């Protein structure tokens, strides 16, 4: 097991009605707040009005910036940075999902930085400071509510790039499962695939002696596999929604990766699909992850046997481990299919004519992943497996 430091400063407040506390939480960080949100579901549901009332009651002045698109764009981040500077805003409140939170994070590190905010995402600068950031979460998926990362799409070249800096972790996140009742089945499933992938990116490691966190990951996966179909069949089942919401945070708050060398190749491979075809991130992962597994399992078969047996209860074939492994991958595909996700490029209407270009873009900054470092040809082979 690797040495590690675990520190997660995000205060999570979880349960029915917790968004009513947003004014009290936000008031600890200043008087003037940027209310950042997406395409309008929070307006239609009445959440925006409730959040505004709570902020005003706590004496906060509100400036708003809506319009964050899924796969959030750099141009809006730049607009937000200018707005925050011009208005002298003290803190940012993201009300929405991963896209809104990531856009807010990029604004928050861009404001105190003299250069262009894309420098962080292009690997040219390190963020040392950030404005304080709070979250009211409406979709359990990206885990951005307590992660130190943001993923932004630069329209100039359609580059989707992630950036991680410890200063980006939100100060607080309010998680009310009732706010997720309105999520359509497909968005719910995309979120489930994303949190599943966040655990798998950590699970597939070459690091020895990580048996304890292996079992944490396996239990988290089993919990998601059990609760997701319930949340989709009964959108207003509070228990199922609550379990999925907490799982999404735990999957990506760093706990499950401690002491391990994480992989993250599948995320890099998926980002090309989102960047070029605007595919929902979770749907892209449901396509890419099983293909990645098929390509790399020979590198560490025992880990894949363990996955199949412990997560999906596949019967171990002692004389033919490959059969056990392939059955585990089939079970993962079957799970994604059952909750309504595509598992092949064609099923998401993604044509096969730009696979080579995507493989080159994905590896432009060097090989992807650590379980098996992947060069351009490896990534191309994975896209082809996803097209099979
Ligand atoms: O735009 P609005 O109106 O808010 O609608 C959203 C959006 O259309 C809608 N939605 C959200 N909550 C809803 C709702 N609709 C009805 N009822 C609700 N309660 O759902 C749509 C998708 O929202 P989005 O924020 O894009 O989803 P998600 O949370 O999955 O975020 C995806 C983004 O996060 C990035 C992804 O790459 C992608 O850009 N990621 C960020 C990470 C991080 N910062 O740590 C890690 C992840 O791996 C991921 O890469
Ligand atoms: Zn993800």
- Asked whether residue 112 is assigned to any structural domain, the reply reads yes
Confidence class of residue 388 from pLDDT cuts 50, 70 and 90? confident
- Asked whether residue 218 is assigned to any structural domain, the reply reads yes
Residue 359: is its pLDDT beyond 90?
A: yes
* Whether residue 189 is found in the same domain as residue 140: no
- Asked whether residue 2 is assigned to any structural domain, the reply reads no
As a whole number, mean pLDDT of residues 188-205 equals 98
* Whether residue 269 is found in the same domain as residue 216: yes
In angstroms, the CA 68 to CA 60 distance is 23
Q: 150, 179, 208: which is the final residue of a domain?
A: 179
Span 104-135, pLDDT tens digits: 999 999 999 999 999 999 999 999 999 999 99
pLDDT for res 203: 98
- Asked whether residue 282 is assigned to any structural domain, the reply reads yes
* Whether residue 314 is found in the same domain as residue 220: yes
- Asked whether residue 3 is assigned to any structural domain, the reply reads no
Element (H, E) at 234: none
Q: 164, 179, 194: which is the final residue of a domain?
A: 179
* Whether residue 148 is found in the same domain as residue 204: no
As a whole number, mean pLDDT of residues 11-31 equals 98
In angstroms, the CA 90 to CA 92 distance is 7
In angstroms, the CA 349 to CA 334 distance is 19
pLDDT for res 70: 93
CATH code for the domain in which residue 175 is found: 3.40.50.1970
* Whether residue 229 is found in the same domain as residue 362: yes
Please list, residue by residue across 95-112, b when 16 or more beta carbons sit within 10 angstroms of its beta carbon and e when fewer do: bbbbbbbbbbbbbbbbbe
Confidence class of residue 39 from pLDDT cuts 50, 70 and 90? very high
* Whether residue 207 is found in the same domain as residue 156: no
**pLDDT more than 70, % of the chain:** 100
Report in angstroms the alpha-carbon separations of 76 from 93, 153, 304: 15, 10, 42
Q: 126, 152, 179: which is the final residue of a domain?
A: 179
- Asked whether residue 5 is assigned to any structural domain, the reply reads no
* Whether residue 356 is found in the same domain as residue 301: yes
pLDDT for res 112: 98
* Whether residue 158 is found in the same domain as residue 292: no
Residue 96 alpha carbon to ligand 1 centre in Å: 7
As a whole number, mean pLDDT of residues 362-376 equals 97
Cβ atoms of 343 and 190 within 8 Å: the answer is no
Please state, as a whole number, how many other Cβ atoms lie within 10 Å of the Cβ of residue 364.
9
Residue 252 alpha carbon to ligand 2 centre in Å: 9
* Whether residue 167 is found in the same domain as residue 239: no
Angle of helix 265-277 versus helix 376-386 axis, rounded to 10: 70
Q: Which residue from 93, 98, 100 has its CB within 8 A of the most atoms of ligand 1, so it is best to mutate?
A: 98
* Whether residue 167 is found in the same domain as residue 286: no
Q: What is the mean pLDDT of the chain?
A: 97
The total domain count for the chain is: 2
Cβ atoms of 96 and 42 within 8 Å: the answer is yes
- Asked whether residue 4 is assigned to any structural domain, the reply reads no
Span 59-109, pLDDT tens digits: 999 999 999 999 999 999 999 999 999 999 999 999 999 999 999 999 999
Residue 148: is its pLDDT beyond 90?
A: yes
CA-based max dimension of the chain: 69
CATH code for the domain in which residue 308 is found: 1.20.1090.10
- Asked whether residue 310 is assigned to any structural domain, the reply reads yes
In angstroms, the CA 206 to CA 226 distance is 28
* Whether residue 137 is found in the same domain as residue 222: no
CB < 8 Å & 24+ apart, contacts of 232-237: 232/185, 232/188, 232/189, 232/339, 232/340, 235/181, 235/182, 235/183, 235/185, 235/188, 236/181
CB-defined site of ligand 1, < 6 Å: 38-41, 70-71, 96-100, 102, 138-139, 141-144, 147, 149-151, 179-180, 182-183, 187, 190-191, 194, 252, 267, 281-282
Q: Which residue from 43, 99, 191 has its CB within 8 A of the most atoms of ligand 1, so it is best to mutate?
A: 99
* Whether residue 105 is found in the same domain as residue 211: no
Please state, as a whole number, how many other Cβ atoms lie within 10 Å of the Cβ of residue 29.
18
Residue 197 alpha carbon to ligand 2 centre in Å: 7
The three-class DSSP label of residue 205 is coil
As a whole number, mean pLDDT of residues 334-345 equals 98
Residue 266: is its pLDDT beyond 90?
A: yes
pTM over 0.85: yes
DSSP letters spanning 34-79: EEEE-SSHHHHTSHHHHHHHHHHHTT-EEEEE--PPSS-BHHHHHH
Domain that holds residue 91: 11-179
Confidence class of residue 136 from pLDDT cuts 50, 70 and 90? very high
Atom of ligand 1 nearest to the CA of 97: 25
Residue 172 alpha carbon to ligand 1 centre in Å: 18
As a whole number, mean pLDDT of residues 289-297 equals 98
CB within 8 Å of 361: residues ≥ 6 apart: 159, 272, 275
């Amino acid at each position: 097991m690797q040495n590690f430091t675990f520190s997660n400063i995000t205060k999570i407040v979880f349960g029915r009605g917790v968004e009513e506390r947003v004014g009290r939480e936000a008031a600890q960080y200043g008087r003037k707040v940027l209310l950042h949100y997406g395409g309008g579901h929070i307006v239609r549901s009445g959440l925006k009005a409730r959040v505004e009332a709570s902020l005003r009651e706590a004496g906060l002045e509100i400036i708003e910036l809506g319009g964050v698109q899924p796969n959030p764009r750099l141009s809006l981040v730049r607009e937000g940075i200018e707005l925050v500077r011009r208005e002298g805003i003290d803190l940012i409140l993201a009300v929405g999902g991963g896209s809104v939170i990531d856009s807010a994070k990029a604004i928050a590190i861009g404001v105190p930085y003299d250069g262009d905010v894309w420098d962080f995402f292009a690997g040219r600068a390190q963020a040392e400071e950030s404005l304080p950031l709070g979250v009211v979460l409406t979709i359990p998926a990206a885990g951005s509510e307590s992660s130190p990362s943001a993923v932004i799409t630069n329209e100039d070249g359609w580059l989707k790039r992630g950036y991680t800096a410890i200063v980006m972790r939100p100060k607080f996140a309010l998680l009310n499962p009732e706010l997720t009742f309105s999520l359509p089945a497909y968005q719910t499933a995309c979120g489930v695939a994303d949190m599943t992938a966040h655990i798998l990116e950590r699970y597939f490691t070459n690091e020895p002696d990580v048996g304890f966190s292996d079992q944490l990951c396996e239990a988290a996966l089993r919990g998601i596999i059990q609760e997701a179909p319930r949340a989709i069949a009964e959108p207003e089942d509070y228990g199922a929604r609550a379990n999925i919401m907490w799982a999404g945070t735990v999957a990506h708050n760093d706990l499950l990766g401690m002491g391990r060398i994480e992989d993250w190749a599948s995320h890099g491979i998926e980002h090309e699909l989102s960047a070029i075809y605007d595919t929902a991130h979770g749907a892209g992962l449901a396509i890419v992850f099983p293909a990645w597994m098929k390509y790399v399992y020979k590198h560490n078969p025992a880990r894949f046997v363990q996955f199949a047996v412990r997560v999906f209860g596949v019967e171990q074939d002692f004389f033919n481990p490959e059969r056990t492994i392939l059955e585990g991958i089939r079970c993962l595909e079957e799970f994604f299919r059952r909750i309504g996700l595509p598992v092949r490029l064609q099923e998401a209407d993604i044509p096969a004519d730009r696979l080579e270009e995507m493989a080159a873009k994905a590896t432009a900054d060097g090989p992807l992943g650590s379980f098996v470092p992947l060069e351009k040809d490896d990534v191309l082979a994975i896209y082809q497996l996803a097209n099979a």
